[in-house]
Amino acid sequence: MIGRYAFGAGSVMAEEIEWHLAGAAWLVGLSYTLVSDDHVRVDVLHERMSVRKQGWIELLGLLFLLLPFAAIVRLRSVAVLLVVVPSGGGIARRRPVCPTAGRSSSSCRSASR
């Protein structure tokens, strides 16, 4: 961002690397907190419940919050892959395709407004 606005020169590769590193950091951080049981929850209510109730709350949270989110991400990813893979990938492509309708990126942006 500094390179783009301060020097008038941006780098798509640098932005892509940034997003990949940020994604990897989130995955590692979230995995660690889940494994070490340090994730955020409402401790005021949680500490007053029995272990059995705590387990039910954890299960319901996974079923109704985590799994639907993971399903949405997976479905959206498959939609993008179905467009990008047959076209030979995204690097050689000059105009990215809107994953929902197969339109070019400019018409995709105008359609979402």
pLDDT digits (tens, 9 = 90+) for 9-33: 777 888 888 899 999 999 999 889 8
CA neighbor of 54 nearest in space, from 46, 42, 65: 46
SS (H, E, C) 10-78: CCHHHHHHHHHHHHHHHHHHHHHHHHCCCCCCCHHHHCCCCHHHHHHHHHHHHHHHHHHHHHHHHHHHH
The amino acid occupying position 38 is: D
Termini Cα distance of the chain? 24
User: What does residue 73 show for φ and ψ, rounded to 5 degrees?
Assistant: -60, -45
Q: Which residues contact 3 (CB under 8 A, 6 or more apart)?
A: 9, 10, 11, 14
pLDDT confidence band for 85 (50 / 70 / 90): confident
**For residue 78, which amino acid is it?**
V
List of long-range contacts for 43-46, beta carbons under 8 Å, 24+ apart: none
So what's the pLDDT on residue 46? 79
Confirm whether pTM is higher than 0.75: no
Q: What is the pLDDT of residue 75?
A: 92
At 1 the pLDDT is: 65
- For the chain, the average pLDDT equals 77
Q: Say what the pLDDT of residue 26 is.
A: 93
